[in-house]
Amino acid sequence: MRRLSLNQKTTNGWSVPEAVDGCVRAGLEAIGLWREPVREYGVAESARLVRDAGLRVSSLCRGGFLTVADDAHRRRTIDDNRRAIDEAADLNARCLVMVVGGLPDGSGSGAPVLPGSTTHDQSADDEAGQRRDRDLHGARQRVADGIAELVPYALDRGVQLALEPMHPMYCADRGVLSTLGQALDLAEQHPVEAVGVVVDTFHVWWDPDVERQIRRASGRIASFQVCDWITPLPADTLLARGMMGDGHIDLRHLRRLVEAAGYRGDIEVEIFNADIWAAAPDDVVTLMKQRYAATVLDPTPSPSR
Amino acid sequence: MRRLSLNQKTTNGWSVPEAVDGCVRAGLEAIGLWREPVREYGVAESARLVRDAGLRVSSLCRGGFLTVADDAHRRRTIDDNRRAIDEAADLNARCLVMVVGGLPDGSGSGAPVLPGSTTHDQSADDEAGQRRDRDLHGARQRVADGIAELVPYALDRGVQLALEPMHPMYCADRGVLSTLGQALDLAEQHPVEAVGVVVDTFHVWWDPDVERQIRRASGRIASFQVCDWITPLPADTLLARGMMGDGHIDLRHLRRLVEAAGYRGDIEVEIFNADIWAAAPDDVVTLMKQRYAATVLDPTPSPSR
């Protein structure tokens, strides 16, 4: 239980002080923080609070969104990532989680054009075909360029960037890093002090190559996050994560693989789920602890046997 | 336009005769059929109809669902796949598409257990943790075993099984073959006459390894299917496919890769989408032809330039 960390997104209604108090009440030793609530409470104040409470900051979420295509937007994004690195340093966070961003036009502004609703001709369709940026290779290259640009600053501030491969379901709109292997291809171009990877069970569990890539990640795993894949998938796929045990992932197997690769850091529970957010946060933390013991840790041998 | 094939699922309201008539009216030369409507009209009758209409059957959907764990269910599934092979042979279908199946308990019978709704104790959670089959490796092994068992019959009937890697979003509930590379690992264990692969843009577009795997698939591509990835993803992920041009996939790029790998067969449009199913089927076919020309084929050079 000493390695269990509450990512504050799991108890989304809690401010930083509430989440810190909640962790202390529950006997947890680590917390994963998000930039928005941290900035709301104040970075220095948040840092003092977690330090005084004796909590480790297992991660700060999140930097990234490096796929933007136009130069001005790109400069602002790099600047914002430098601020995120500063905040991670001030909080003494174990790493800064990087959600790299989807395609520049990936979040689906345009509704589908249905048959019969308008006149279609070839030229109009051609135009529709051109309007959106569908260059996935280019987006991935901009991520690599952006990380390379941030590495010297991360080294300077002593912050490890943690590349998070995201489930391929988010490739268009959230993250074009889609597999652990791809994240490692990028991370390995840089010193391990500057760039590691996140292993999040929700994002990687399906990958036929996951065993091999976790072994390969030895020494590069900056963060291990757990939650479950539930079916049917909730309507809003951004809120599709489930409490451990409610879904289909063999969490214990993945935890063992990550440990066999040498990871001994915190195990963070990050759940985006409307039903869990609607529940009382202390109850969520209690359930999280029970499920962590029952589905992530090794079973305790029964004394009666 | 001669290679464009209408998968009858795109015009879901049409029976086999209606779909055949619709193809002929639209000047198409090929059709992808589904077992259920074919059996409703009659296999021999459907075969005669498509032959008399001069249509190629680019694929029959679908065999598979080989991940079932209990023996009796498994026997029935293998028998049903043999019937599907017979039907594909009778229809002179180019291939039998294999949707391999998800985890045995993958379709999400159990609602998530929320904090506060019931008493949770460790033993209950342990039980919940045990109840479901989370053995993804085992499920994948059963697929390999099932394919191996079907190969002699497929060779005997002259039918190529087309392994369809499915988007990782469907790993739990539809298909544990998640990448083209994984499908090829399995297909390459068998003669190419018996086992090929499907390249479906919706399922593979996100894969950082897709260029390499399509090259590797040279000679093994049994079917090329196109539709688009739209955002936001519709609430029912099984109906999440979009008309070409409405989403984020660079379809032309993938079509060129498949052709560079030597594929010269039909290009089938298979769209599961409630809005498209609600539209008039003839309008859907008209739009499909326009979008196919505009987003899949190479642009026609403008004579004015």
| Tens-digit pLDDT profile for residues B94-113 | 999 999 999 998 875 444 44
From chain B, the residues in CB contact with A298 under 8 A are none
Residue in A112, A135, A168 nearest the CB of B275: A112
Backbone angles phi, psi at B198, to 5 degrees: -100, 135
Q: Is pLDDT of B115 > 60?
A: no
Q: Is pLDDT of B305 > 60?
A: no
Q: How far is CA A103 from CA A66, A174, B170, in A?
A: 10, 8, 22
H helices, E strands: number in chain A: 12, 10
Helix (H) or strand (E) holding B163: strand B161-163
Which residue of A1, A114, A186 to mutate against B (max B Cβ within 10 Å)? A114
Q: How far is CA B82 from CA B104, B156, B226, in A?
A: 21, 11, 27
Is there a contact between B208 and A179 if contact means CB atoms under 8 Å apart? yes
Rounded to the nearest angstrom, the minimum Cα separation between B279 and chain A is 7
Residue in A110, A205, A294 nearest the CB of B126: A294
pLDDT tens digits, one per residue of A92-120: 999 999 999 999 988 754 444 445 444 33
Rounded to the nearest angstrom, the minimum Cα separation between A21 and chain B is 19
Chain A touched by B292 (CB under 8 Å): no
Chain A touched by B72 (CB under 8 Å): no
Q: For B68-87, what is the mean pLDDT?
A: 96
Helix (H) or strand (E) holding B261: none
Q: For B244-251, what is the mean pLDDT?
A: 97
Yes or no: say if A270 and A12 are a contact pair by the CB < 8 Å rule.
Answer: no
Is there a contact between A136 and B205 if contact means CB atoms under 8 Å apart? yes
Yes or no: say if B43 and B49 are a contact pair by the CB < 8 Å rule.
Answer: no
Task: Quote the pLDDT of residue B132.
Answer: 87
Chain A touched by B297 (CB under 8 Å): no
Chain A touched by B87 (CB under 8 Å): no
- Calculate the average pLDDT of chain B: 92
Rounded to the nearest angstrom, the minimum Cα separation between A125 and chain B is 6
Task: Quote the pLDDT of residue A304.
Answer: 57
Task: Quote the pLDDT of residue B105.
Answer: 85
Which residue of A125, A131, A174, A204 to mutate against B (max B Cβ within 10 Å)? A125
Instruction: State how far the Cα of A76 lies from the Cα of A82, in Å rounded to an integer.
Output: 10
Yes or no: say if B95 and B158 are a contact pair by the CB < 8 Å rule.
Answer: no
Chain A touched by B241 (CB under 8 Å): no
E strands along chain A, which residues? 4-7, 30-34, 56-64, 96-99, 161-163, 195-200, 221-226, 228-229, 241-242, 267-269
Domains defined for chain A, CATH in brackets: 4-106+133-296 (3.20.20.150)
One-letter amino acid at A157 equals R
Task: Quote the pLDDT of residue A125.
Answer: 43
Chain B touched by A173 (CB under 8 Å): yes
Residue in B173, B179, B250 nearest the CB of A136: B250
pLDDT tens digits, one per residue of B270-293: 999 999 999 999 999 999 999 999
How does residue B80 score in pLDDT terms, banded at 50, 70 and 90?
A: very high
- CA atoms within 13 A of residue B222's CA, in its CB half-sphere: 30
Chain B touched by A229 (CB under 8 Å): yes
One-letter amino acid at B122 equals Q
Chain A touched by B275 (CB under 8 Å): yes
Q: Is pLDDT of B16 > 50?
A: yes
From chain A, the residues in CB contact with B135 under 8 A are 250
DSSP state of B44: H
Task: Quote the pLDDT of residue A120.
Answer: 39
Instruction: State how far the Cα of A171 lies from the Cα of A157, in Å rounded to an integer.
Output: 30
Yes or no: say if B45 and B21 are a contact pair by the CB < 8 Å rule.
Answer: no
Nearest-10 crossing angle of helices A281-291, A16-25: 50
Q: Which residues of B110-142 are buried (b: 16+ CB within 10 A; e: fewer)?
A: eebbbbeeeebeeeebbebbeebbbbbeebbeb
Positions of chain A with pLDDT lower than 50, given as ranges: 109-114, 116-129, 305
Q: For B173-192, what is the mean pLDDT?
A: 98
Out of A62-66, A112-116, B179-183, B257-261, least confident range: A112-116
From chain B, the residues in CB contact with A171 under 8 A are 205-206, 229
From chain B, the residues in CB contact with A248 under 8 A are 103, 105-106, 132, 134, 172
| Chains A & B: contacts with CB separation below 8 Å | 182
pLDDT tens digits, one per residue of A184-210: 999 999 999 999 999 999 999 999 999
Residue in A171, A247, A287 nearest the CB of B206: A171
Residue in A114, A230, A279 nearest the CB of B279: A114
Is there a contact between B246 and A294 if contact means CB atoms under 8 Å apart? no
Chain B touched by A79 (CB under 8 Å): no
